[in-house]
Amino acid sequence: MTEKILKGSKTEQNLINAFAGESQARNRYSFFAKQAKKDGYEQIAEIFLITAENEKEHAKLFYEHIGNTIGQVNSSYPFELGTTEENLESAINGEKEEWSILYPEGEKVAREEGFDEIAETFHHVVEAEKHHEKRYSKLLENVKNNTVFSKPEETNWMCRECGYIHHGKSAPKKCPNCHHPQAYFQVLCEEY
């Protein structure tokens, strides 16, 4: 019964567009991860991949609400692949548009049309997208300020490959333990 009511509604179209958008974001972030690796940013590559998996789950949530239908995607999506810096800027713009415009509108329309469960999905995904934008913004700041592997204050750096810990203002050019390049170091984070 819900499917018949959903069919042809603005909410159905918003779900279709959101599914397509999340699916495309997942692929873009996978492509961006390869570029980040190429540019020497292992941690940023991993964050792109983690976020790609988040986007896959968002797509799945929207897809499960859609049900059995054939729909037309009525949206535009960026097709750009650049440097890691450019890719982070693109990702920030996409995440911001989702959490500040598209998904709040999806939530509003779903509530107006009586689809409270769908509205809640849009609402919860907004929170994740805000976090994605914040994380990408911090990474972009680090890339622009050349502070991915160097900080103004002494800090602990961890080799992502072997776990070696180095204390200093900069990550070593090469891990003294496993000999992987600086690209494998990240600031040690102990928030569990």
CATH number at residue 160: 2.20.28.10
**Are both 79 and 164 inside the same structural domain?**
no
Burial class (CB in 10 A: 0-12, 13-18, 19+), 74: exposed
**Are both 107 and 159 inside the same structural domain?**
no
Cα 16 from Cα 8, distance rounded (Å): 11
| pTM of the predicted model as reported, rounded to 2 decimal places | 0.85
Name every residue whose Cβ is closer than 8 Å to that of residue 130 and which is 6 or more positions away in sequence.
Answer: 95, 99
CB distance 150 to 170 below 8 Å: yes
**Are both 137 and 156 inside the same structural domain?**
no
**Are both 69 and 10 inside the same structural domain?**
yes
Q: How many domains does the chain have?
A: 2
**Are both 140 and 168 inside the same structural domain?**
no
Query: Is 50 a member of any domain?
Result: yes
Cα 113 from Cα 5, distance rounded (Å): 9
**Are both 68 and 94 inside the same structural domain?**
yes
Cα 46 from Cα 132, distance rounded (Å): 13
Taking CA atoms, 175 is separated from 8, 37, 57, 116, 187, in Å, by 58, 17, 35, 52, 14
**Are both 177 and 161 inside the same structural domain?**
yes
Query: Is 83 a member of any domain?
Result: yes
Cα 130 from Cα 98, distance rounded (Å): 9
For each of the chain's 192 residues, which pLDDT tens digit applies? 444 589 889 999 999 999 999 999 999 999 999 999 999 999 999 999 999 999 999 999 999 999 877 777 766 666 778 999 999 999 999 999 999 999 999 999 999 999 999 999 999 999 999 999 999 999 999 999 999 999 999 999 999 999 999 999 999 999 999 999 999 999 998 754
Q: By residue range, what is the domain housing residue 63?
A: 2-144
Query: Is 192 a member of any domain?
Result: no
